[in-house]
Amino acid sequence: MSQIRQTSSLAIASLVSGILGWTLLPFLGALVAIITGHMARGEIRAANGQLDGDGLAVAGLVLGWVSMALILVAIVVVFAFLGGIAWLAAINA
């Protein structure tokens, strides 16, 4: 008789948070996805085959890290743009 494996709830939370990080909660969702994704992968490894959901956790991690990277790039672009405007204003003053 085969044993039924349960899916990690942290892995599901990571995936859902990763999706929310791209839609409704850009920074907070990505942060929660990263944290719960790492926690889920550790929980799954420690369960010795009793828990499933590593793919869900990895998907949540990828969504979270890519979202965080894009947020960081957006912040750098905004500051560079505003810095360029301030520099132009200083030259033309």
pLDDT digits (tens, 9 = 90+) for 72-93: 999 999 998 888 888 888 887 7
Q: Report whether 36 contacts 18 (CB < 8 A).
A: no
Q: Is residue 82 part of a domain?
A: no
Mean pLDDT of 28-45: 97
Q: Is residue 10 part of a domain?
A: yes
Q: Is residue 36 part of a domain?
A: yes
Higher pLDDT, 92 or 22: 22
Q: Is residue 27 part of a domain?
A: yes
Triad 27, 28, 33: Cα angle to 5°: 100
Q: Is residue 49 part of a domain?
A: yes
Q: Is residue 73 part of a domain?
A: no
Query: Total structural domains in the chain?
Result: 1
Amino acid found at 88: L
Mean pLDDT of 30-56: 95
Residue 61, domain extent: 6-68
